[in-house]
A and B are shown apart, each in its own frame.
Chain A
Amino acid sequence: AQRVTQPEKLLSVFKGAPVELKCNYSYSGSPELFWYVQYSRQRLQLLLRHISRESIKGFTADLNKGETSFHLKKPFAQEEDSAMYYCALKLHSSASKIIFGSGTRLSIRP
């Protein structure tokens, strides 16, 4: 069955420290993976997608098919990074059906 796992419900790091939010997926097909972010009192929004291989707000994520992981990383955390982060898997068999992980709340301490 298709599944996205985010093992950490809460991750708290100090400002300036590196951040890594873990995401593992289970899918037999070719995956398309995303990270979504929801800042306090704002809408859920796309942060980045693996096919773009881009860095957004200093965050990067690399798809590792061998480990079925798509961890989100940032070398130096900033206070404005505090938010809820969701890893998501888009199924190729279904254009818009996205499976979300349970989310990780990232808290950056000053």
Chain B
Amino acid sequence: KAGVTQTPRYLIKTRGQQVTLSCSPISGHRSVSWYQQTPGQGLQFLFEYFSETQRNKGNFPGRFSGRQFSNSRSEMNVSTLELGDSALYLCASSLAPTSASYEQYFGPGTRLTVT
């Protein structure tokens, strides 16, 4: 079974631009979560999608948004990029949020550098 894939793997943007990151979950997984990983703040939850609906959101400004498509693929968007948005963005998928056999599988991440 193919794992979680994220594209692109690396991205360089300048301040003020916007960026869209993509995540394809494991086949059959319907829940997708996004995390931001930085040296200073560690791993922080961004949001979670299930059945094309955002179920939960972390403490991030409105510049961070996302969506999920009917095939469970998900995108996250960051508008008006700031230097502090430089991070590794991780996507994780699971069967469903309320799955009794709960396990999230992580993708390799997208490394975003804002200059």
Contacts and interface: CB of A to CB of B under 8 A. Distances in A.
B3 A96 contact: no
B97 A95 contact: yes
Contacts of A49: 102-103
Given A44-B90, A86-B43, A102-B42, A96 B33 contact: yes
A96 B42 contact: no
A43 B102 contact: no
B44 to A, nearest CB: 8
B42 A97 contact: no
Contacts of A96: 31, 33, 48, 50, 55-56, 94, 97, 104
Interface residues of A, number: 18
A70 interface: no
A29 to B, nearest CB: 15
B107 A43 contact: yes
A110 B62 CA distance: 48
Contacts of B109: 43
Interface of B: 3-4, 31, 33, 35, 42-45, 48, 50, 55-56, 58, 90, 94, 97-98, 102-109
Shortest Cβ-Cβ A-B pairs, 9 listed? A95-B97, A100-B43, A96-B48, A44-B106, A102-B42, A94-B56, A96-B97, A97-B56, A96-B33
